[in-house]
Chain A
Amino acid sequence: MSQTTVSVPAARYIPQGRLGIWILIAGELIIFGGLIACYLLYRLRFPEWGAQAAHTSTLLGAINTLVLLTSSYTIVRAHSASLEREKTKIIKWMIATISLGFVFLAIKTIEYSNEISHGFTLTSPSLVKAGDSVGANFWSFYYFMTGLHATHVIVGMIIMTAAIFQVKKEKNFHRVELAGLYWHMVDIIWIFLFPLLYIAK
């Protein structure tokens, strides 16, 4: 079959891996989008959630946002390097991205330990005992959304590590872009979580 005689819609020319990742991203956005929509509805219904949000650390949240935005920049640089097949550069930028992932998780751990030490947990029994079950719901949303997001960060780091091994063998350079697309999705989710959980008080 001659390639010049084939007439197919432009969409068919999307590489399968890239299309697959976009469909995965769409699925993930439904999960997180649904959670964020529910959070927004509750936040509008119960303005007293603002009092609970006041206990989250805006500074640590802002640092984590900066960390993830920077990691999005480093992974897109790795993608640029992958187009030139510059192995050393790709690995350097991807290791920088993974390191930023570790920084994000470390900061999140500090935040969690602070909040748990003040009695704010997934179920917050102290708030429930005090009759503030609405306030306890805020923390359920907080831990579920940030915990699920942190799980995605860990998965992203594993995917990037696997991609680095492939690049080392000079194979599948396009997987750097696919890993990058997943990582950007993780960043976008945080872009929405940060203002809702840390700024609006």
Chain B
Amino acid sequence: MNNYRESHEGVIQPEPETDYHGHPNYTKVFFALIGLLAFSLVLGFFTSPMIAVSLIFFVAIIKAGFVVGNFMHLKFEPILIWIVIGVVIFILATFFLCLLPDVTFVERILAK
């Protein structure tokens, strides 16, 4: 149960120390991250750099998900925080996908 207080602006706020988070088993999460780190190193031995970069980046996304979800408690945060992070991911994905054809495929076709 949250403890609320009224700030000087009249906005109802929970006490700063109020803990509405769940607390996952941090040690388990830590060892899962170490396991994923080892897996990334193994993937580096793939001969095709394209496959290696894609797979390693995918594992990095999983690792980041573990940290954000459990250590940063994002999975316990309200929708507003999800929207803040979601907008960032959307902007970055749009930026990347819009430039991808120019940087890779179009230049290669022009080079021919």
Give the interface of A toward B (CB within 8 A). 1, 3, 6, 8, 10-17, 19, 22-23, 25-26, 29-30, 33-34, 37, 40-45, 47, 50, 58, 62, 65-66, 69-70, 72-73, 75-77, 80, 82-83, 172-174, 180-181, 184-185, 187-188, 191-192, 194-196, 199-201
The reply to whether B41 and A199 form a contact with Cβ atoms under 8 Å apart is yes
Contact across chains for A191 and B72 when beta carbons are under 8 A apart = no
Q: Is the CB of B81 within 8 A of A14?
A: yes
A194 vs B79: C-alpha distance when bound (angstroms): 30
* Chain B residues positioned under 8 Å from A33 (CB to CB): 88, 92
Q: Which residues of A contact B30 (CB under 8 A)?
A: 69-70, 72-73
Contact pick for A172, options B13, B16, B72, CB 8 Å: B16
The answer to whether A199 touches B95 (Cβ under 8 A) is: no
**Which residue of chain B has the shortest Cβ distance to A40 in the bound complex?**
B96
Tell me whether A58 and B41 are in contact in the complex, defined as CB-CB below 8 angstroms, given that A11-B78, A19-B81 are known contacts: yes
| Other 12 A-B pairs with CB < 8 A, given A12-B11, A50-B49, A200-B44 | A1-B10, A14-B78, A15-B16, A16-B7, A37-B99, A41-B100, A44-B103, A58-B44, A62-B37, A195-B40, A199-B44, A200-B53
List 24 interface pairs A-B (beta carbons < 8 Å), by A numbering.
A1-B10, A3-B4, A12-B12, A13-B14, A14-B81, A15-B13, A16-B13, A17-B16, A19-B81, A26-B85, A41-B104, A44-B50, A44-B104, A45-B103, A45-B107, A69-B33, A73-B26, A73-B27, A184-B72, A188-B68, A196-B57, A200-B52, A200-B56, A201-B44
